[in-house]
A and B are shown apart, each in its own frame.
Chain A
Amino acid sequence: MSVLISVKSLRKYFPVSGLPFAKKQYVKAVDDVSFDIEKNTVFGLVGESGSGKSTLGMSMIRIIKPTSGTVLMDGVDVSTLRGRERAKWSSQLSYVYQNPVSSLDPTWTVEQSVSEPLAAAHVPQGERKDMVLQSLASVGLQDYFLEKFPHELSGGQSQRVAIARALVRRPKFMILDEPTSALDVSIQAQLLNLMMDLQREYGLTYFYISHDLNVVGRVCDRIAVMYMGKVVEIADAWDLFSSPMHPYTQALISTTRFKSSNFLGFRLTGEPPSPRNPPTGCHFNTRCPYATSICFQEEPKLLVAKGDHAVACHNLELVAQGKIQVPQNFQPVSAGGNRPQGQVD
């Protein structure tokens, strides 16, 4: 299996304007994030509001310029590309936004919206209409949708148009930022099936950003969990759900238990801290039931716990030193990277 996207130490800091002579403050929306995405997979990013997940998505395809770090696509560092190379790169990826209605220009017809990426890629005029029709057909919209305007479409239809637009240039990589949050449950199910069919049929690679762990758990192959700008856990989807290691992940997953009793889950206390003033040490220490003294001093690194499962938590390190009890299946950590080339020592 080959890696399509490789994110290394990505950072995006937003300066906070304060008094002229005060020390420069930053909101660290994305703070040293690294992971790999393999070809032909669905990679999920879960986080709550303020976690920085949308910022991460936009930084990856340079809608927002990252403060530092690199993103490699097929081994090529995107920021070094210029001109025609750059254009070719941008035709290989696309972005589907959360709110379908506002992601379409209300003054443009469906045909114009869907063919816009083709115009940007200088595809000859004559070929465009066919490609648009094909794209619309693949999302289940018939020919007569060409002349419609966004306000004539339902939420589900608008999102299909947005997906058709994202697909029309046959990209390799698609970032889907909460594509179904604004839709009804029954429509969401249709759209999810559609997106998975398209992924299989065209060999696409998805980066699926969501706060809804149920959806992510269903459609994703591998999941990263984000909290306050950092990736706190990353694992294959079913592995994450069957043995979550980071306390935050555990809390999140217990909110997804779906049954008719009154079980409300592992309850976190308190609120997430303000992103401008994150606590020293592990950002999760204000709400973590297992926090120990080291959690207030040092930020934990993202380290491999077992196989393809990595966590950023001091308590797991302490286990390796025999100081705290944790789940079995745990192996000693190796520093650096979340995906070992060979065996874990």
Chain B
Amino acid sequence: MTEAVRTGSSRLKVLRRVARTIRGLLHQKMFLAGIIIVGTLIIIGVFAPWVSPYPDQGAGQTANTSCPTSAAGICPPSWQHLFGTEQTGRDIMSRIFFGIRTSITISVLVVMLAVVIGLAVGLTAGYFGGLIDEALMRVTDIWLSFPHLILALVIVAVLGPGFNDILIALGATWWPGFARLARAQALEIRNRPYVIVAKAGGVGSRSIIGRHILPNAISPLLVLISVDLGAVILAEASLSFLGLGIRPPTADLGVMIAESANQITTAWWYALFPGLFLTLLVIGFNLVGDTIRDRLDPKLRVDLGMIDVGKLTGRSGRRL
């Protein structure tokens, strides 16, 4: 960055650099933390078959003889099984990795489904208004009025547990949130001058919605997406915990937590590690979502990129 004006003393230069780094760091810490957590977990999940020590959902030879405390296969952490094994002798660490894979897969698919449906419904309702808006919003309200979990329970109870059914159940409960948000955005954007000019110029509704409204409506949706990813993971785990989701032998964090529930005192490792990773996953997504939101907000404010010099010197508008 060049400066055409004479700089003042060297104090000025130091101040400037310090101020800038502080601001940069502050911003990145949370984001970095979130990204690292989520990134690592995603990599683990995607590459689970290659990263896990016991690729076959944790099944494999165990040295049963090395844990004399229980007759069943539950063994505490050891060098062969870093997180121990569960009752059928399968390696917990591998199962956790596969469980992460399941959670992330379901979460991403569910959110994608919810976004697609939500955008379609919300943008259409918001843009056209009138009867279309009324009709679509009544439908949305009905869906929205059911508590997430209850609705998912009902759907799963009807369709039976299983991967696809969970997708449908969770997707059905999550789309209204996106629809609401998309509609609010559409309502505001359709009055903006560039939309009006486009309409006056004879551009068709579909084109306007797809090329003007959608790109401009995205940013709040991004925040919702990243936050919802974490929430869906939790919901899926809850369903599995209740026995309505994924069934063993498929690895799943919720299932593992359920199975470990009544053995917390004796097999602490079985309850601890799955829970720990589940928490990490959700926190990671939330951190990313929060920082995305903070990053987008300041962009909209006029005072973009300001450095809080006052924080350094203790007063506003201070002299040098």
Q: Do chains A and B touch in the complex (CB under 8 A)?
A: yes
Question: Hey, which bits of chain A sit against chain B, CB under 8 A?
Answer: 61-63, 86-87, 90-91, 94-95, 97, 99, 102-108, 113, 116-117, 119-121, 165
Determine if B194 and A63 form an interchain contact, defined as CB atoms under 8 angstroms apart.
Answer: no
- CA A62 to CA B202, docked complex, whole Å: 11
- CA A164 to CA B196, docked complex, whole Å: 17
- CA A117 to CA B196, docked complex, whole Å: 13
- CA A105 to CA B207, docked complex, whole Å: 14
Q: Which residue of B lies closest to A177 (CB)?
A: B193
Determine if A95 and B197 form an interchain contact, defined as CB atoms under 8 angstroms apart.
Answer: yes
Q: Please, which residues of chain B bring their CB within 8 A of the CB of A61?
A: 200
- CA A33 to CA B160, docked complex, whole Å: 68
B216 at the A interface (CB under 8 A):
yes
Question: Of B194, B196, B202, B212, which contacts A120 at CB under 8 A?
Answer: B202
Determine if A116 and B201 form an interchain contact, defined as CB atoms under 8 angstroms apart.
Answer: yes
- CA A102 to CA B195, docked complex, whole Å: 10
Determine if A90 and B201 form an interchain contact, defined as CB atoms under 8 angstroms apart.
Answer: yes
Q: A105-B216, A106-B216, A107-B215 are in contact. Are A63 and B196 (CB under 8 A)?
A: yes
Q: Please, which residues of chain B bring their CB within 8 A of the CB of A116?
A: 198, 201, 203
Interface residues on B, range: 10 to 19
Determine if A105 and B202 form an interchain contact, defined as CB atoms under 8 angstroms apart.
Answer: no
Determine if B200 and A103 form an interchain contact, defined as CB atoms under 8 angstroms apart.
Answer: no
Q: Which residue of B lies closest to A100 (CB)?
A: B193
Question: Of A87, A102, A107, which contacts B193 at CB under 8 A?
Answer: A102
A179 to chain B minimum Cβ distance, whole angstroms, is 12
Q: Main SS of chain A's interface residues?
A: loop
Question: Hey, which bits of chain B sit against chain A, CB under 8 A?
Answer: 192-194, 196-204, 207, 211-212, 215-216
Determine if A90 and B202 form an interchain contact, defined as CB atoms under 8 angstroms apart.
Answer: yes
Q: Which residue of B lies closest to A98 (CB)?
A: B193
Could you pull out 10 A-B pairs where Cβ atoms are within 8 angstroms?
A63-B199, A63-B200, A86-B202, A94-B200, A95-B196, A105-B212, A108-B211, A116-B198, A120-B202, A120-B203
- CA A139 to CA B31, docked complex, whole Å: 44
A87 to chain B minimum Cβ distance, whole angstroms, is 5
Question: Of A97, A106, A108, A117, which contacts B201 at CB under 8 A?
Answer: A117
Of listed B193, B203, B212, B215, residue having the most chain A CB within 10 A:
B193
- CA A165 to CA B194, docked complex, whole Å: 11
Q: Which residue of A lies closest to B194 (CB)?
A: A105
Determine if A97 and B193 form an interchain contact, defined as CB atoms under 8 angstroms apart.
Answer: yes
Q: Which residue of B lies closest to A113 (CB)?
A: B194
Determine if B194 and A104 form an interchain contact, defined as CB atoms under 8 angstroms apart.
Answer: yes
Q: Which residue of B lies closest to A171 (CB)?
A: B201
Determine if A90 and B200 form an interchain contact, defined as CB atoms under 8 angstroms apart.
Answer: yes
Q: Please, which residues of chain B bring their CB within 8 A of the CB of A105?
A: 194, 212, 215-216
Query: Top 5 nearest A-B pairs by Cβ distance?
Result: A107-B215, A103-B193, A90-B202, A105-B194, A97-B193
- CA A117 to CA B194, docked complex, whole Å: 12
Determine if B202 and A102 form an interchain contact, defined as CB atoms under 8 angstroms apart.
Answer: no
Q: Please, which residues of chain B bring their CB within 8 A of the CB of A165?
A: 197
A104 to chain B minimum Cβ distance, whole angstroms, is 6
Contacts A95-B197, A103-B197, A105-B212 known; list 11 others, CB within 8 Å: A87-B202, A90-B200, A97-B193, A97-B196, A102-B193, A108-B211, A116-B198, A116-B203, A117-B201, A120-B203, A120-B204
Of listed B192, B202, B215, residue having the most chain A CB within 10 A:
B202
Q: Please, which residues of chain B bring their CB within 8 A of the CB of A99?
A: 193
B298 to chain A minimum Cβ distance, whole angstroms, is 14
Q: Which residue of B lies closest to A94 (CB)?
A: B201
- CA A86 to CA B201, docked complex, whole Å: 11
Q: Please, which residues of chain B bring their CB within 8 A of the CB of A117?
A: 201-202
Q: Please, which residues of chain A bring their CB within 8 A of the CB of B212?
A: 105
Q: Which residue of A lies closest to B192 (CB)?
A: A102
Q: Please, which residues of chain A bring their CB within 8 A of the CB of B193?
A: 97, 99, 102-103
